[in-house]
Structure 1
Amino acid sequence: MNSELFYKNPKTILNKGTGFLAGYTHSLNPYTGCSFACSYCYVRQMPVSLFRKKEWGSWVDIKQNAAIVLEKELKRAKSKGEVTIFMSSSTDPYQPVENKERLTRSLLETMLQHQPDFLFVQTRSPLVKRDIDLLKLFKNKVRVSMTIETDLDEIRKIFSPFAPPINARLKTLEELAKEGIPTQATIAPVLPSSEDFPIKLSKIVNRVCIDDFFMGDGSGGKRTTRLGIETKYKEHKLEEWYDSEAYLLVYERFKKYFSENQLFISQKGFEP
Structure 2
Amino acid sequence: MKHELFYKNPKTLLNKGTGFLAGYTHSLNPYTGCSFACSYCYVRQMPVSLFREGEWGKWVDVKKGAARILKKELQRAKEKGKVTIFMSSSTDPYQPIEHKEKVTRSLLEVMAEDQPDFLLVQTRSPLVRRDIDLLQALKEKVRVSMTIETDSETIRRKFTPDAPPIAARLKTLELLRGAKIPTQAAIAPVLPSSEAFPETLKSVVNRVCIDDYFMGDGSGGKRTKRLGIQAIYETLALEEWYGPIAYKKVYDRLARVFPEDQLYVSQRGFEP
Q: Which runs of 4+ in 1 moved over 4 A?
A: none
Query: Following TM superposition, by how much is the alpha carbon of 1:113 offset from its aligned partner in structure 2, in angstroms?
Result: 1.6
Q: Counterpart of 1:78?
A: 78
Query: Following TM superposition, by how much is the alpha carbon of 1:2 offset from its aligned partner in structure 2, in angstroms?
Result: 2.2
Residue type at the aligned position of 1:38: C
Q: Counterpart of 2:263?
A: 263
Give CA deviations for 1:95-135 in whole Å, capped at 9, x if unaligned: 00000001100000011121100000000000000000110
Q: Counterpart of 2:182?
A: 182
When the two structures are aligned, how many residues end up with a matched partner? 272
Find the residue that maps to 1:251 and give its secondary structure: helix
Find the residue that maps to 2:10 and give its secondary structure: coil
State the alpha-carbon separation in 1 of the partners of residues 2 and 188 from structure 2: 24
User: Is 1:93 equivalent to 2:93 in the alignment?
Assistant: yes
Residue type at the aligned position of 2:204: I
Find the residue that maps to 1:143 and give its secondary structure: strand
RMSD: 0.5
Find the residue that maps to 1:24 and give its secondary structure: coil
State the alpha-carbon separation in 2 of the partners of residues 51 and 113 from structure 1: 37
Query: Following TM superposition, by how much is the alpha carbon of 1:33 offset from its aligned partner in structure 2, in angstroms?
Result: 0.2
Give CA deviations for 1:70-112 in whole Å, capped at 9, x if unaligned: 0110000000000000000000000000000011000000111
State the alpha-carbon separation in 2 of the partners of residues 220 and 165 from structure 1: 28
State the alpha-carbon separation in 1 of the partners of residues 66 and 230 from structure 2: 37
State the alpha-carbon separation in 1 of the partners of residues 139 and 153 from structure 2: 32
Counterparts in 2 of 1:101-112, with a 5 A limit?
A: 101-112=101-112
User: Is 1:210 equivalent to 2:210 in the alignment?
Assistant: yes
Query: Following TM superposition, by how much is the alpha carbon of 1:65 offset from its aligned partner in structure 2, in angstroms?
Result: 1.1
Q: Counterpart of 2:30?
A: 30
State the alpha-carbon separation in 2 of the partners of residues 113 and 129 from structure 1: 19
Residue type at the aligned position of 2:132: I
State the alpha-carbon separation in 1 of the partners of residues 191 and 101 from structure 2: 31
State the alpha-carbon separation in 2 of the partners of residues 236 and 140 from structure 1: 42
**Structure 1: unaligned runs, 5 residues or longer:** none
Residue type at the aligned position of 2:117: D
Q: Counterpart of 2:251?
A: 251
State the alpha-carbon separation in 2 of the partners of residues 3 and 169 from structure 1: 23
Counterparts in 2 of 1:95-174, with a 5 A limit?
A: 95-174=95-174
Find the residue that maps to 1:85 and give its secondary structure: strand
**Structure 2: unaligned runs, 5 residues or longer:** none
Q: Counterpart of 1:15?
A: 15
Query: Following TM superposition, by how much is the alpha carbon of 1:54 offset from its aligned partner in structure 2, in angstroms?
Result: 1.3
Query: Following TM superposition, by how much is the alpha carbon of 1:64 offset from its aligned partner in structure 2, in angstroms?
Result: 1.3
State the alpha-carbon separation in 2 of the partners of residues 56 and 45 from structure 1: 10
Find the residue that maps to 1:264 and give its secondary structure: strand
Query: Following TM superposition, by how much is the alpha carbon of 1:8 offset from its aligned partner in structure 2, in angstroms?
Result: 0.3
Find the residue that maps to 2:137 and give its secondary structure: helix
Q: Counterpart of 2:48?
A: 48
Residue type at the aligned position of 2:172: T
Query: Following TM superposition, by how much is the alpha carbon of 1:53 offset from its aligned partner in structure 2, in angstroms?
Result: 2.8
Residue type at the aligned position of 1:101: E
Q: Counterpart of 2:6?
A: 6
Q: Counterpart of 1:233?
A: 233
Find the residue that maps to 2:248 and give its secondary structure: helix
State the alpha-carbon separation in 2 of the partners of residues 176 and 84 from structure 1: 21
State the alpha-carbon separation in 1 of the partners of residues 59 and 10 from structure 2: 17
Give CA deviations for 1:207-228 in whole Å, capped at 9, x if unaligned: 0000000000000000000000
Residue type at the aligned position of 1:122: Q
Q: Normalising by structure 1, report the TM-score.
A: 0.99
State the alpha-carbon separation in 2 of the partners of residues 61 and 110 from structure 1: 21
Query: Following TM superposition, by how much is the alpha carbon of 1:195 offset from its aligned partner in structure 2, in angstroms?
Result: 0.2
State the alpha-carbon separation in 1 of the partners of residues 173 and 113 from structure 2: 26
Residue type at the aligned position of 2:65: N
Find the residue that maps to 1:52 and give its secondary structure: coil
User: Is 1:222 equivalent to 2:231 in the alignment?
Assistant: no
Residue type at the aligned position of 2:88: S
